[in-house]
Amino acid sequence: MAASTHCGSGPPAGAAPGKSQLQRDVENLGRQHDARDGATAKQSRPPMRYEAFKGWRGICALLIALHHFGAAGYIYDLSIIRHAPPAVDFFFVLSGFTLAYVYSGRLNSAGDVGTLLWRRLGRIWPLHAIVLVAFIGLEVLASVIAAKTGVPRRMAMFDPESAGQLAAIPTHLLLLHSFGLHDQLTWNVPSWSISAEFWIYLVFALVILFVRRWATVAGFGLSLLGLAVVVANVEEMGDAHYSFGFFRCLCDFFLGLAVYRITKRFPARLAMASAVEVVAVFAAYVYVAYFSTGQLSFAAPLVCGILVWIFSHEAGIVSRVLESRPFAAIGNWSFSIYIIHSLLIILINRGASFAQQRLGTPLLIELQTNHGPHQQLNFGGPLVMDAVTIAYVVVLIALAAFTTRFVEKPLQKKWNGLLKPRAVVVPHAVTA
Q: 305 near 256, Cβ under 8 Å?
A: yes
H/E stretch holding 367: strand 364-369
Number of domains forming the structure of the chain: 1
Q: What tens digit of pLDDT does each residue of 185-201 get?
A: 999 999 999 999 999 99
SS3 for 108?
Answer: coil
Q: What is the pLDDT of residue 335?
A: 97
User: What's the predicted TM-score (pTM) here?
Assistant: 0.84
Give, in degrees to the nearest 5, the angle at Cα 255 between 211 and 236.
135
- Assigned domain for 220 exists: yes
Contacts of 294 (CB under 8 A, 6+ apart): 235, 236
Q: In terms of Cα–Cα distance, which of 244, 202, 207 is closest to 227? A: 244
Whether the pLDDT of residue 370 is over 70: the answer is: no
- Assigned domain for 33 exists: no
- Assigned domain for 308 exists: yes
Which of 38-47, 80-89, 203-212, 247-256 shows the lowest per-residue confidence on average (mean pLDDT)? 38-47
Whether the pLDDT of residue 7 is over 50: the answer is: no
- Assigned domain for 5 exists: no
- Assigned domain for 237 exists: yes
d(CA 19, CA 17): 6
Q: What tens digit of pLDDT does each residue of 377-414 get?
A: 888 889 999 999 999 999 999 999 999 999 999 999 99
Q: What is the DSSP letter of 158?
A: T
Q: In terms of Cα–Cα distance, which of 348, 379, 343, 370 is closest to 72? A: 379
d(CA 111, CA 128): 25
SS3 for 134?
Answer: helix
Q: What is the DSSP letter of 176?
A: -
d(CA 399, CA 250): 31
C-alpha distances (whole Å) from 153 to each of 28, 32, 96, 353, 362 are: 84, 79, 42, 9, 16
Give, in degrees to the nearest 5, the angle at Cα 380 between 379 and 386.
105
- Assigned domain for 156 exists: yes
Q: What tens digit of pLDDT does each residue of 42-78 get?
A: 444 445 678 999 999 999 999 999 999 988 899 999 9
Whether the pLDDT of residue 125 is over 90: the answer is: yes
pLDDT band at 371; cut points 50, 70, 90? low
Domain holding 73, by residue range, is 58-417
The answer for 14, left when phi > 0, alpha when psi is -120 to 50, beta otherwise, is: left
